[in-house]
Structure 1
Amino acid sequence: MPELSRRLEVFSESVIRRMTRIANAHGAVNLSQGFPDFDPPEELKRALVNTAEGSIHQYAVTWGAPNFREALAVKQSKLLGIPINPDTEIVVTCGSTEAMMAAMMTVCNPGDKVIVFSPFYENYAADAILSGAEPIYVALKPPSFGFDADELEAAFRQKPKALILCNPSNPTGKVFSREELLIIAGLAEKYDTFVITDEVYEHIVYEPFEHTYFASLPGMFERTLSCSSLSKTYSITGWRLGYLIAPAAIAEGARKIHDFLTVGAAAPLQEAAVTALHFPESYYTDLTRLYSEKRNLFLDGLESLGLKYTVPQGAYYVMVDISEFGASDDVSFCEWMAREVGVAAVPGSSFFREPISHLIRFHFAKRQETLHDALNRLELLRQKADKVAL
Structure 2
Amino acid sequence: MPTATEKLHLSEIAPNVVQSEIRSMTVECDRLGGVNLAQGVCDTEPPAPVVEQAIQAIRDGRNIYTRLDGIAPLREAIARKLERDNSMTVDPESEVLVTSGATGGLYAAALALLNPGDEVIVFEPFYGYHLNTLISLRIKPVVVPMAEGSWEIDFDRVRSAITEKTRALIVNTPSNPCGKVFSLKELEIIAGIVEENDLFLFTDEIYEYFVYDGTRHISPATLPGMAERTISISGLSKTFSITGWRVGYLAASSRWLGAIGYFHDLTYVCSPSAFQYGAAAGLLDLPVSYYTGMAEEYKMKRDKLCSALQDAGFTPSIPPGAYYVLADVSSIEGANAKEKARTLLRERGIAAVAGTAFFAGGRGEKLLRFCFAKRTEDLDRACKLLRG
* TM-score of the superposed pair, with normalisation by structure 2: 0.95
Other structure's SS at 1:70 match: helix
Q: For the structure 1 residues 359 and 158, does the alpha-carbon distance in structure 2 shift closer, same or farther, using more than 3 Å as the test?
A: farther
Structure 2 CA distance for aligned equivalents of residues 377 and 354 of structure 1: 32
Query: Aligned ranges for residues 1-390 of structure 1 at < 5 Å?
Result: 1=5, 2-278=8-284, 279-325=286-332, 327-356=334-363, 357-380=365-388
Other structure's SS at 2:13 match: helix
Structure 1 CA distance for aligned equivalents of residues 116 and 42 of structure 2: 37
Moved over 4 A (4+): none
Structure 1 CA distance for aligned equivalents of residues 10 and 313 of structure 2: 48
Structure 2 CA distance for aligned equivalents of residues 34 and 371 of structure 1: 13
Q: Alpha-carbon deviation of 1:332?
A: 1.8
Structure 1 CA distance for aligned equivalents of residues 354 and 233 of structure 2: 26
Indicate the percent of aligned positions where both proteins have the same amino acid.
39
Q: Does the 8 A contact of 2:332 with 2:343 survive in 1? A: no
Question: Per-residue displacement from partner, 1:170-197 (whole Å, max 9, x unpaired)?
Answer: 0000111110111100000000000100
Range that drifts further, 333-342 or 305-314: 333-342
Question: Per-residue displacement from partner, 1:232-280 (whole Å, max 9, x unpaired)?
Answer: 1111111110111100011111011101001111111111211111122
Q: Does the 8 A contact of 2:173 with 2:207 survive in 1? A: yes
Q: Which residue identity does 2:374 align to in structure 1?
A: K
Range that drifts further, 354-363 or 310-319: 354-363
Question: Per-residue displacement from partner, 1:68-114 (whole Å, max 9, x unpaired)?
Answer: 11111111122332321011011111111111111211211111111
Question: Per-residue displacement from partner, 1:132-155 (whole Å, max 9, x unpaired)?
Answer: 111111011111101101001111
Aligned match of 1:388: none
Structure 1 CA distance for aligned equivalents of residues 317 and 33 of structure 2: 27
Q: Alpha-carbon deviation of 1:156?
A: 2.3
Other structure's SS at 1:135 match: strand
Q: Alpha-carbon deviation of 1:202?
A: 0.5
Q: Which residue identity does 1:236 align to in structure 2?
A: I
Structure 2 gaps, min length 5: none
Other structure's SS at 2:60 match: coil
Question: Per-residue displacement from partner, 1:310-332 (whole Å, max 9, x unpaired)?
Answer: 00010000011011235321112
Q: Alpha-carbon deviation of 1:158?
A: 4.7
Other structure's SS at 1:92 match: strand
Q: Does the 8 A contact of 1:80 with 1:215 survive in 2? A: no
Q: Does the 8 A contact of 2:205 with 2:234 survive in 1? A: yes
Q: Alpha-carbon deviation of 1:296?
A: 1.5
Q: Which residue identity does 2:17 align to in structure 1?
A: F
> How many residues align structurally?
380
Structure 1 CA distance for aligned equivalents of residues 355 and 46 of structure 2: 29
Structure 2 CA distance for aligned equivalents of residues 58 and 324 of structure 1: 53
Q: Does the 8 A contact of 1:156 with 1:187 survive in 2? A: no
